Amino acid sequence: MPDTILIVDDEPDVVDLLVFNLQKAGYKTSTAREGRTALQKIRDELPALVVLDLMLPGIEGTDICRQLRADPKTAHIPVIMLTAKAEEVDRIVGLELGADDYITKPFSPRELTLRVKTILRRAAGTSMPSETLKHGDLLVDRAKHDVTFKGKSLDLTATEFKLLATLLERRGRVQTRDMLLQDVWGYEGDVDTRTVDTHVRRLREKLGKAGDWIETVRGVGYRFIE
C-alpha cells in the first residue's frame, strides 16, 4: 500500500505538476486548495506527508503547521513547506514551526520528489506506523489495542483481540483450527479444537453485524472475508 501525500496549494498548475510527479514516483495523492479543507483532510486521511504552501487564502500555511503539530494524532506527520519568497525569514519561521523541509518556488519536481523520499524513509524508521488493520467500518489498532466498529469502541478480551487480528491480517485465506491454536494460543499439539469455535462465537457476538465478516469454512476452519 503506497503512502498518501497531501498537497496543499491554491495554484492549480502547481498542484497538477506535483500530483503528476508524485504519482509517477509511486505515491498516492490528495489535494486541498485552502487551509480549512487541508486541516480536515489531514485529520481524516492521515497522510504520510504534507506538502504545504506557505501563502494560502484564508488560513496561513504556518497556522496549519501549528495546528497539525498540536494534535497528537497528526503531530508526527512530516511537512514540506513551499514558498515563493526566498528570504531566510520565512525559512526560519517554517523550520522552527516544525516543518521538516522547505523548497522555494520555482522548484524542480525531481528535487521535491527526492526530498519526499528522503523524509519518508527517515520517518519510517523512527515513528511507528501504528499498525492498524481495517475492513469497512471495522478498525483494529494493535498499538492501541483497540477495536472500533462504525466509530463505536468494542470491548474485546485479549484472546478475542488476538484472534480477530490474526484472522483480519490473513483475510481471504482460510485458517484451520490448528493454525489458529498455534498462532493465537501458542499451543502445540492436541487441545480440544472446539475451543476455537467458542471464541469465534464470542467474537461474532461482540462484533454484532460485522460478525458476518467471519465465515466458517465447513470441514476446514474460519476465514475473514476479503
| Binding interface with a copy of itself (CB under 8 A) | 69, 72, 75-76, 78, 88, 91-92, 95-96, 98-101, 108, 110-111, 114-115, 117-118, 122-123, 125-128, 130, 143-145, 157-159, 171-174, 217-220, 223, 226
Strands 152-154 and 4-8: unpaired
| Neighbour count for residue 150 (Cβ, 10 Å) | 11
Q: Which does 95 bind (CB under 5 to 8 A by kind): a copy of itself, DNA, none?
A: a copy of itself
Helix (H) and strand (E) counts for the chain?
A: 8, 12
Stretch that binds DNA, among 49-57, 75-83, 124-132, 183-191 (CB under 7 A): 183-191
Q: Which does 75 bind (CB under 5 to 8 A by kind): a copy of itself, DNA, none?
A: a copy of itself
Contact between 225 and DNA per CB under 7 A: no
Rounded CA-CA distance 132/51 in Å is 24
What is the DSSP secondary-structure string of 85-139?
---HHHHHHHHHTT-SEEEESS--HHHHHHHHHHHHHHHHHHS----EEEETTEE
Residue 181 half-sphere exposure toward CB, CA atoms < 13 A: 16
Q: Which does 134 bind (CB under 5 to 8 A by kind): a copy of itself, DNA, none?
A: none
Q: Which does 84 bind (CB under 5 to 8 A by kind): a copy of itself, DNA, none?
A: none
Q: Which is nearer to a copy of itself, 33 or 160 (CB)?
A: 160
Q: Which does 194 bind (CB under 5 to 8 A by kind): DNA, a copy of itself, none?
A: DNA
Which class for 160: exposed (0-12), middle (13-18), buried (19 or more C-beta within 10 A)?
buried
Q: Which is nearer to DNA, 79 or 196 (CB)?
A: 196
Among 147, 200, 207, 210, contact with DNA (rule: CB under 7 A)? 200
| Residue found by looking up cell 516544525 in the block | 98
Contact 221, 176 (CB under 8 A): yes
Contact 69, 40 (CB under 8 A): no
Q: Which does 100 bind (CB under 5 to 8 A by kind): a copy of itself, DNA, none?
A: a copy of itself
Contact between 153 and DNA per CB under 7 A: no
Residues of this chain that interact with DNA (CB under 7 A) are 155, 157-160, 185, 189-192, 194-195, 197-202, 204, 216-221
